């Protein structure tokens, strides 16, 4: 489904250019559940953001279902993005609006601009949004303002918003990092369920190694912008983990 070929990303910072991704190539087939691990600043978030076009790579090509997404016009990019869900660590909800309003935002990409401006969603949009709220058990909270919710509920709203896009691909950037262990498990279970029941491809950045090993079918690892591991959970030995997290140097 996704073919990444020779992708590099260079940021111009105050201290000169910083290479966040170095010549990354990888294939992700449809229906896969991939967890990306690595230390902070290893390029995980950058990689995820290049996959939905929030960042355009400096070099290389990314094909999603045959569509080259690094060279899309603004309009085409918006069309591509509506088919890709994205879940953020900070939830990124509009906290002053209601739960339902936030979930409906997942449908904005499908509406003509003027209808979007006036908030004139179709009946189908409402059905989808309500169905997704039911999937994450938040139907009773439908009209509550988001800032009255707990962290776990907020992340579920964010998941419902992403699911309301009816995405083919779900990207998640540390979706559980701001949640306690129980809620983290719950978020991972929800994603796993979507993956298994709907065959939706999931790519997820994650710090918590145990969650990655438990839920992901495949694990890839970044170290200083380079892809250093690609395999199943079973293949990820303790030595490799130490290598990825550079734990040996710290211990010494």
Partner 1 sequence: MSAALVYALLGLGLAVLLSVARGSMRRLIYGGVFGIAIAFVAFPFVQSLGYLTRETVSPTLLGLLPRYPLLALVPVALVAAGALARRGGQMAALGGIVAGALTLFTGLFLIGQPAGLVRLIPLDGLMELLVALIPPLLLALLGRRRAKLRWPLIGAGVLLGGLVFFWLNSSGGGHLYLPKMAGYYRLLGGVEPGLERRIVEEYNAGLEERNAILREIGQPEEKPVQSLGDFKGRIPQETAAQGYRLLQPSQLQYGAFAVFILAGLMLGAGLVQLRRPQLQEPGDLRSGLILAALVGVLLPAFDATEFALQKLVKGWPFLVSFMDKAWPPNLTQINPSDPERSIFPLQSVLSEMALTIEIALVGTFLAAIFAVPTSFLAARNLTQGSPLMRGLFAFMRTFYNVDRGVDTLILALVFVAAVGLGPFAGVLAMAIHSIADLGKLYSEAIENVERGPIEALESTGTAGVNVLRWAILPQVLPLFVSYTLYRFEINFRVSVVLGLVGAGGIGYFIKGAMDGGNYDQMIIGVIAIVIVVNLIDFASSWLRSRLV
If binding means CB under 8 A, how many residues of this protein chain bind partner 1? 32
39 binds partner 1 (CB under 8 A): no
Nearest distance from residue 250's CB to partner 1, in Å? 32
79 binds partner 1 (CB under 8 A): yes
Q: Could you tell me the two tokens for 5?
A: 């070929």
Under rule CB under 8 A, which residues in 103-122 are in contact with partner 1? 105-106, 108-109, 113, 116-117
Nearest distance from residue 122's CB to partner 1, in Å? 15
133 binds partner 1 (CB under 8 A): no
88 binds partner 1 (CB under 8 A): yes
Q: Is the dihedral of CA 12, 13, 18, 21 positive or negative?
A: negative
Instruction: Calculate the CA dihedral of residues 95, 98, 100, 104 and round it to 10 degrees.
Output: -50
CB 171 within 8 A of CB 87: yes
- Can you give the length of the chain in residues? 252
Under rule CB under 8 A, which residues in 140-199 are in contact with partner 1? 158, 161-162, 165
Distance CA 87, CA 182 (A): 18
**Residue of 22, 81, 156, 218 interacting with partner 1 (CB under 8 A):** 81
Q: Could you tell me the two tokens for 249?
A: 């140097």
86 binds partner 1 (CB under 8 A): yes
Classify residue 60 as exposed, middle or buried by CB count within 10 Å of its CB (0-12, 13-18, 19+): middle
Note the residues at the interface with partner 1 (CB under 8 A): 52, 54, 77-86, 88, 90-94, 96-97, 101, 105-106, 108-109, 113, 116-117, 158, 161-162, 165
């Amino acid at each position: 489904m996704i073919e990444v070929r020779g992708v590099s990303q260079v940021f111009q910072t105050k201290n000169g250019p910083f290479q966040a991704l170095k010549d990354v190539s990888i294939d992700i087939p449809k229906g896969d559940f991939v967890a990306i691990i690595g230390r902070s600043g290893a390029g995980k978030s950058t990689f995820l953001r290049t996959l939905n076009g929030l960042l355009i790579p400096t070099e290389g090509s990314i094909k999603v279902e045959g569509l080259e997404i690094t060279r899309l016009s603004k309009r085409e990019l918006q069309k591509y993005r509506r088919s890709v869900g994205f879940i953020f660590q900070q939830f990124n909800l509009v906290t002053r609006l209601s739960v339902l309003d936030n979930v409906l935002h997942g449908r904005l990409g499908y509406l003509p601009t003027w209808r979007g401006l006036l908030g004139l969603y179709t009946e189908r949009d409402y059905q989808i949004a309500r169905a997704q709220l039911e999937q994450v058990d938040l139907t009773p909270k439908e009209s509550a303002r988001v800032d009255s919710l707990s962290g776990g509920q907020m992340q579920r709203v964010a998941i419902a918003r992403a699911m309301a896009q009816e995405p083919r691909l779900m990207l998640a950037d540390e979706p559980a990092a701001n949640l306690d262990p129980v809620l983290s498990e719950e978020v991972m279970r929800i994603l796993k369920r979507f993956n298994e029941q709907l065959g939706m491809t999931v790519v997820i950045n994650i710090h918590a190694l145990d969650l990655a090993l438990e839920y992901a079918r495949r694990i890839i690892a970044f170290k200083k912008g380079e892809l250093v591991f690609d395999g199943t959970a079973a293949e990820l030995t303790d030595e490799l983990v130490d290598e990825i997290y550079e734990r040996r140097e710290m211990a010494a």
